[in-house]
Structure 1
Amino acid sequence: MTDKLLNHRAEGPTSAPPLLLGPSLGTSSALWDKVAPELSITHRVVRWDLPGHGGSAADLIGAGATVGDLARLVLALADSLGIERFAYAGVSLGGAVGLHLAVHHPERVDSLAVICSSAHFNGAKPWEERAALVRRVGLAGLAENANARWFTPGFTVPELVRDHRDADPAAYAACCDALAAFDLRERLPEISSPTLLIAGREDPATPPAHLREIADAVPGAALVEIPGASHLAPAQCPEAVLTALRAHFDGGAKRGMEVRREVLGDAHVDRAQARQTPFTARFQDFISRYAWGEIWTDPTLTRRERSMITLTALVAHGHYDELAMHVRAARRNGLTPEEIGAVLLQTAVYCGVPAANSAFAAAQRVLAEETEEEG
């Protein structure tokens, strides 16, 4: 053991809330290349490398290491940077470190995201065997099969496979020892930090059931499953991971989603979320953070007033599908059918009679459906 620190990379304003990002076994901080720059807009992001991986010294841990040993190295790194409390996200072994920190050092962890990880890793034997294999023959063979363990067929990130091949065998084996000894299932109910679990639906190493087990045990935890993602979700589906992490770590985004549900209703938002793809994830995040998290939460105008303005703008631009949705929202915000009619009549003067005619038709359809539902 030495007193050296884990190799790390810091991004974002030093005055921003700190967010530590932990890697998976066999990878480096490059695992976060497609996610960290975006997170660093609102956070002081610190990515770290496991011992013997990336730029971290191999002798930071030795044979028989535990996840607790890795957690102590992370705390030493945070201390060296003057970071007392932090948000934390980690993948696989990095996620296990986050769980350990949340259980044993709750005073340090503001919020936690555990990605493609587990509270146990299928028992000690597979990891003991892998550690023995690596100590005997090195990492070349395992690196050749990394794609099958990490990604869905046809997808790869050459830099991460190279990181796997170049890792120090002794340090890698020591990390396997840590995984072999790890089982935090009985301590999960003690976690008090707001916790998000992210599972890759195609992950063979830590299937969604492993994340669901944690979500069921940690009070108030949330679970997100990413379609098409395997074990290294931040590399394979970065937009979906980024959206989930922003919603969890960014208070404005969380409030935005709450307001969005209050105004538009759970059914509409659930449908929008279900249709979300990696292509649309960033747009959905933008809507939640900006439109709902900043504009609709501004107390200068009431929600009733915002509904009237929104109805008018939608009529002016001919967005009648959106208009129907916001007629329902206006009713939820307290407007009566008579008030909605008065708003649409006003649009006839300033937006044109044809536009108001279409708007009345859309609104009448919604209000009739509402009457039928009440009946």
Structure 2
Amino acid sequence: MNDKLLHHRAEGPTTAPPLLLGPSLGTSTALWDKVAPELSVTHRVVRWDLPGHGSSPAGLIGPGATVDDLAGLVLGLADSLGIERFAYAGVSLGGAVGLHLAVHHPERVSALAVICSSAHFNGSKPWEERAALVRREGLAQLAESADTRWFTPGFTVPELVADHRNADPEAYAACCDALAAFDLRDRLPEITAPTLLVAGRQDPATPPAHLREIADAVPDAALVELPGASHLAPAQCPEAVLTALRAHLGGSARRGMEVRRQVLGDAHVDRAQARQTPFTARFQDFISRYAWGEIWTDPTLTRRERSMITLTALVAHGHYDELAMHVRAARRNGLTPEEIGAVLLQTAVYCGVPAANSAFATAQRVLAEEDPAEGNG
């Protein structure tokens, strides 16, 4: 274990958009057990442990720690993983870290979700008293009351309560020091990342008013209140949290759908959407997010150039139904019939004459449908 880095757990494709998940005080990466695997379908999810919690070294922070110290540790983790820019979601103290990052390191945060958290935590005195208690007596007493602070009556997650009991008292107390000193209210209007606030309506620690305060101050922020949720909403109401996060983090899919329609046409995309089933929904999301939302939006190549490359690749692999669709797309992207013919002629050299022969037949049919004069020219 690297004693200079926060312990973390990474899930999802390394090529997917990065998403960092921050924990609440007293918990571990297990807080996200019912959420992270689903998010990893579309993101490279990295969840981390606070110092002295889970498997993170306790010595990463000490007395008088601040949220800035914790944010620095998160950036160090991201740097070690080669992650320059990331979406971020955090609960309670983890949410405070996200707010700090969005204010002080806006170039690193592409999107922010703050869950059951606050821009301040009811002043310094309660946290100073809790830190003193933990340093004096350990965590047994606080762990006994964890359920009432974290969940609605009758609900518990034993693994998280065990995490609370097993945390390092000195590191836990240092995290309390960080909460005591945290107040970012006057900096909230500076946040530029798209921001989502998620409140648990039954949360006694950071009630909905705290999240509304942030939503009112951060430009264009959205607020979702979850009925039946207390302080650890990802553990108690994972489906509701998933729904909110997916809607907030789906920017590349939305942009991808826009580009997909521009290149392929509304009629084609509408037909594809109409044929979508629960079985194919993830694949359709993958196409919109990855192919259209990330590759086709990359400004390094023009759409004309991308059409030429795509036509060649489809001929090489004999995908003639897809070729027909992309001949139409090439025309939308500004290629003339002569330029399309030149691309297909080049495929005869590098992909083979039979492949090019079939490609010319497909393209001629499509061009004739688009404009009979072109198809016969």
* Corresponding residue of 2:86: 86
AA aligned to 1:191 is: I
Q: What is the distance in 2 between the residues matched to 1:300 and 1:168?
A: 56
- 1:251-270 correspondence runs (5 A): 251=251
Contact 2:3 2:57 in 1 (8 A): no
1:156 paired with 2:148, answer no
- 1:203–1:123: structure 2 CA closer, same or farther, 3 Å change rule? same
The Cα shift of 1:72 comes to: 0.2
Runs of 4+ in 1 over 3 A off after TM superposition: 252-256, 296-303
- 1:1-375 correspondence runs (5 A): 4-251=4-251, 300=264, 302=266
Q: Deviations over 1:232-251 (max 9, x none)?
A: 00000000000100101112
The Cα shift of 1:302 comes to: 4.3
Q: What is the distance in 2 between the residues matched to 1:226 and 1:156?
A: 18
Contact 2:149 2:231 in 1 (8 A): yes
The Cα shift of 1:254 comes to: 5.3
SS in 2 for 1:5: coil
Contact 1:248 1:254 in 2 (8 A): no
Q: What is the distance in 1 between the residues matched to 2:254 and 2:239?
A: 17
Contact 2:199 2:226 in 1 (8 A): yes
Contact 2:200 2:228 in 1 (8 A): yes
Q: What is the distance in 1 between the residues matched to 2:47 and 2:265?
A: 41
Contact 1:21 1:48 in 2 (8 A): yes
Contact 1:247 1:254 in 2 (8 A): no
Contact 2:95 2:115 in 1 (8 A): yes
Q: What is the distance in 2 between the residues matched to 1:297 and 1:166?
A: 53
RMSD over equivalenced CA pairs, Å = 2.3
Q: What is the distance in 1 between the residues matched to 2:244 and 2:18?
A: 17
Contact 2:65 2:177 in 1 (8 A): yes
- 1:168–1:194: structure 2 CA closer, same or farther, 3 Å change rule? same
Contact 2:106 2:191 in 1 (8 A): yes
AA aligned to 1:55 is: S
Q: Deviations over 1:66-98 (max 9, x none)?
A: 000000000000000000000000000000000
Q: Deviations over 1:305-337 (max 9, x none)?
A: 969x98xxxxxxxxxxxxxxxxxxxxxxxxxxx
Contact 1:201 1:229 in 2 (8 A): yes
The normalised TM-score by structure 1 is 0.69
- 1:140–1:3: structure 2 CA closer, same or farther, 3 Å change rule? closer
The Cα shift of 1:301 comes to: 5.5
AA aligned to 1:250 is: G
SS in 2 for 1:65: coil
- 1:235–1:179: structure 2 CA closer, same or farther, 3 Å change rule? same
Q: What is the distance in 2 between the residues matched to 1:306 and 1:9?
A: 39
AA aligned to 1:115 is: I
Q: What is the distance in 2 between the residues matched to 1:24 and 1:196?
A: 17
AA aligned to 1:92 is: S
Q: Deviations over 1:179-225 (max 9, x none)?
A: 00000000000000000000001100000000000000000100011
SS in 2 for 1:248: helix
Contact 2:200 2:226 in 1 (8 A): yes
AA aligned to 1:155 is: F
Q: What is the distance in 2 between the residues matched to 1:306 and 1:36?
A: 31
The Cα shift of 1:160 comes to: 0.2
- 1:14–1:253: structure 2 CA closer, same or farther, 3 Å change rule? closer
Contact 2:63 2:173 in 1 (8 A): yes
- 1:252–1:104: structure 2 CA closer, same or farther, 3 Å change rule? closer
Number of residues of Structure 1 aligned to a counterpart in Structure 2: 272
Q: What is the distance in 2 between the residues matched to 1:254 and 1:185?
A: 31
- 1:235–1:105: structure 2 CA closer, same or farther, 3 Å change rule? same
Q: Deviations over 1:128-176 (max 9, x none)?
A: 0000000000000000000000000000000000000000000000000
Q: Which has the larger radius of gyration?
A: 2
